[in-house]
Amino acid sequence: MSDLPTILKPNATEHDRALEQAIRKGKPDLTPIAKLMNPDTCPAHLLGWLAWAFSVDVWEATWSEATKREVINRSIAIHRIKGTAGAVRRALGTIGFRTDISEWFEHGGTPHTFRIDAFGDDIFAAGFQISAELVDMVTLLIENVKPVRAHFTLRIGEKKGGTVTLRTGSLQRAEDHRHITPALPVDTHAPQLTARTGHRGRAISREIHRFDMGDAA
């Protein structure tokens, strides 16, 4: 048996000890592992896996590489303060989103509510376009870090003088609930699905995966 020190527990099996000694004798270079676990040095194509390891709540493959690295870098700090207004601000800040956050006592709202205003100029500067997909992403991001008891109103407008209310946090779960069932009769030349949102349904092609805001009505 080698004289190399062990870091295993006293109840380690002989197989564990043999494997440990074999690894220590080879003196493996662990530098690549350290690089993989660093958001700043991890290869771009592995960032999604690193985000999973860091418990990132919301992840979009379409984000820029810089945004992905920033989201991973801030994940631990956000988890430490989840359930606070500060967590909401930091989470939105990771994707370059500049917003005005107003709690209920600041604008005379209902207790345990808050309001988030985002404006077109800031959204475009962060590399996004105003769309239903953007609202879905931001809403999910907020839902994952806000206080559980709190409800919110997310308002996104083309400009600061013309804010448009697109979604409230208290309705988010209901709006995102959809059922997909086979449509009858089925045209064998053009397969159809029926998308049901709430109490309405419509036929769509199998190739269509996007829903506009009208489907949430």
Q: What is the residue extent of each domain of the chain?
A: 1-33, 37-81
- C-alpha 33: how far from its chain's center? 25
Q: State the average pLDDT for the chain.
A: 75
Q: Pick the range with the lowest mean pLDDT from 48-62, 89-103, 121-135, 189-203.
A: 189-203
Q: Pick the range with the lowest mean pLDDT from 17-26, 51-60, 127-136, 159-168.
A: 159-168
Q: Mean of the pLDDT values across residues 177-185?
A: 42
- Tens of pLDDT, residue by residue over 69-115, are 999 999 999 999 999 989 999 999 888 888 888 899 998 889 999 99
| pLDDT value of residue 159 | 53
Retrieve residue 37's tokens: 């676990």
Give every CB contact of residue 55 below 8 A, 6+ residues apart in sequence. Answer: 75, 79
| pLDDT value of residue 53 | 95
Q: Pick the range with the lowest mean pLDDT from 66-80, 161-175, 197-211.
A: 197-211
**Does the model's pTM come out above 0.75?**
no
Mean pLDDT is highest, among 166-170, 182-186, 210-214, for: 166-170
Q: How far apart are CA 216 and CA 132, in angstroms?
A: 10
| pLDDT value of residue 158 | 56
- 18, burial (CB in 10 Å: exposed 0-12, middle 13-18, buried 19+): exposed
**% pLDDT > 70, the chain:** 70
- Tens of pLDDT, residue by residue over 109-154, are 899 999 998 887 778 888 888 888 888 999 999 999 999 999 998 8
pLDDT at 22 over 50: yes
| pLDDT value of residue 88 | 93
Cβ count within 10 A of residue 60: 14
More confident residue, 20 or 174: 20
Q: Mean of the pLDDT values across residues 2-16?
A: 81
Radius of gyration for the chain, computed over Cα atoms and rounded to the nearest angstrom: 24
Label residue 2 by pLDDT band (50, 70, 90): low
With DSSP H G I counted as helix, E B as strand and the rest as coil, what are the percentages for the chain, rounded to 5?
A: 40, 20, 40
